[in-house]
Amino acid sequence: MATPKYKRILLKLSGEALMGDDAYGINRQTISGIVAEIKKVADLGVQMGVVIGGGNIFRGVAASASGMDRAQADYMGMLATVMNSLALQDAMRLAGLPVRVQSALDIQQVVEPYVRGKAIRYLEQGRIVIFAAGTGNPFFTTDTAAALRGAEIGAEIVLKATKVDGIYTADPKKDPTATKYATISFDEAIQRDLKVMDATAFALCRDQKLPINVFSIFETGALERVVMGATEGTLVYC
User: What phi, psi does 13 have (nearest 5°)?
Assistant: -110, 135
Strands 128-132 and 47-52: parallel
Annotated binding site for ATP: 12-15, 55, 59, 162, 168, 171
Domains belonging to the chain, first-starting first, are 8-237 (3.40.1160.10)
Residue 58 confidence (pLDDT) above 80: no
pLDDT tens figures, 70-97? 898 899 999 999 999 999 999 999 999 9
For the residues 170-183, what does the mean pLDDT come to?
A: 89
Half-sphere exposure of 70 (CA within 13 A, CB side): 5
> What residues form the annotated binding site?
12-15, 54-55, 59, 74, 135-142, 162, 168, 171
Question: Do residues 102 and 115 touch, judged by C-beta distance below 8 A?
Answer: yes
Q: Examine the pLDDT at 64 and tell me if it is beyond 80.
A: no
**What single string gives the DSSP state of each residue in 32-81?**
HHHHHHHHHHHTTT-EEEEEE--HHHHGGGHHHHTT--HHHHHHHHHHHH
Nearest to 194 by CA among 219, 223, 164: 164
In this prediction, residue 22 has a pLDDT band, given cuts at 50, 70 and 90, of: confident
Binding annotation for UMP: 54, 74, 135-142
Kindly indicate the confidence band of residue 176, based on its pLDDT and cuts at 50, 70 and 90: confident
Answer yes or no: is pLDDT of 66 > 90: no
